[in-house]
Chains A and B, each alone.
Chain A
Amino acid sequence: MERIPILKMGEYLLVTIQVDMHDRLAMTLQDDLTARIVAAHAKGVLIDISALEIVDSFIGRMLADIAAMSRVLDAETVVVGMRPAVAITLVELGLSLTGVRTALNVERGMDMLRHRIRSRLDG
């Protein structure tokens, strides 16, 4: 059965979505990711969707769900690498992912995570 790999980088987890998502895959990803966040004591999750060319309301909701789950487990989520066409589609669908942080690429996303976690520790 296909799975989406979850890579651990220090205290962050990196998820790269490169295949078309469907219900079962999304459920598996949510299971795996929440388990890994707990097991690895992850402080942040980066979801790279730069390979996704087509996004529908289902994926939009899945991203929002993952962000919400991670937040409950005290990990920040950043979605990175969205393509312009995908961004426009999501906005037209009325899904502006208000609860999800976004960044242009993995590098920027990583910076954002570090910054957020540092400021949270300071505060």
Chain B
Amino acid sequence: MNELSVLHDLVAKNEDDILRRWVDRQLGAASFRADRISKAELSDQSRRFLSLFRQSLASGNADLHAPAWAGIREMLEDLSGSRAQQGFSPSETALFIFSLKETLFERLQDQLATDPKAATQLILDTSQVLDRIGLFTTEVYQRGRERVIIHQQQELMELSTPVVTLWEGVLALPIIGTLDSSRTQVVMESLLQRIVETGAAIAIIDITGVPTVDTLTAQHLLKTVAAARLMGADCIISGIRPQIAQTIVHLGVDLGTVVTKSTLADAFAIALRRLNLSVTRVAAPKKRRPDGDEADRLEDRVED
């Protein structure tokens, strides 16, 4: 690790000079985004990075995951996060690190003009260390993205499985989006829980919002129906679009004895009939009398 200590001495001796040149180079580069980051902030970040970089080099250990590099890792995580928020792309963030290389190489050349072989070796090592740091920023950036994606997935999962009470004893389960195994589990659990809570005898599963039905989706639907049946509730599947009906037949999916309807309204009508309920049109509204509301209400009660 001789080269690292040489590099450390170089940085330690010329820290101010290197910093000035580095910041100038960044400000002068075509990729500098004056609209996203201020000059002061950039020089502050560069100064902090350079001093941490020097401290880590002092350890003589080139492994980025070693404890000596903890400070720089932490700083890069912050930097990556704030840059992402400022709207920088991951490669622009990595360029922040790579631009230090050129500045350092200039200094190295001055320093080691007499010994080209050692200079080459030193440049290779420096390059390696900085490359690793640059890649690390990209990694951090990606990890942040993944966290966002996982969080959104969870939110979607919770959002999209409401169980609605349509009438006393009739539940509806409008499914929006693709029905995969993990969602089926959530859907099943919330449906069965609501069956226990409300004592519903009929559940309508509406798949109007399901974009495609393949054999796996159909299997998940049938599982849900079977589980609801074990709890003593009958299921009706509604919202089957013409294309989906065709797909189901072409795939040879057997929906067995499950009642299917094309619209939620049809399914609801069936549910009401099974519960011996009916919807009837009342007579045309009469003219309002002065104390109309009260009289109407009385009349309603008589009709009931």
Contact = CB atoms under 8 A, between A and B. Distances in A.
A108 B232 contact: yes
B233 interface: yes
Contact of A90 (B189, B193, B230): B230
Interface string B274-302: 00000000000000000000000000000
B196 interface: yes
B226 A104 contact: no
B60 interface: no
A103 interface: yes
Contacts of A96: 226-227, 229-230
Interface string B195-210: 1100101000000000
Interface string B230-249: 11110000000000000000
Most buried by A among B188, B193, B195, B231: B231
B193 A102 contact: no
A79 B230 CA distance: 8
B199 A102 contact: no
B226 A84 contact: no
Contacts of A109: 232
Interface residues of A, number: 19
Most buried by A among B189, B196, B230: B230
B223 interface: yes
A103 B230 contact: no
A92 B232 CA distance: 17
Nearest to A101: B232
A102 B229 contact: yes
Interface in A87-123: 87-88, 90-92, 96-97, 102-105, 108-109
Contacts of B68: none
A91 B232 contact: no
Contacts of B199: 104-105, 108
Given A102-B232, A104-B233, A87 B227 contact: yes
Contacts of B233: 104
A90 B188 CA distance: 13
A104 B234 CA distance: 11
Contacts of A90: 227, 230
B271 interface: no
B192 interface: yes
Nearest to A82: B230
A33 interface: no
Interface in A4-48: none
Interface of A: 79-80, 82-84, 86-88, 90-92, 96-97, 102-105, 108-109
Interface of B: 185, 188-189, 192-193, 195-196, 199, 201, 223, 226-233
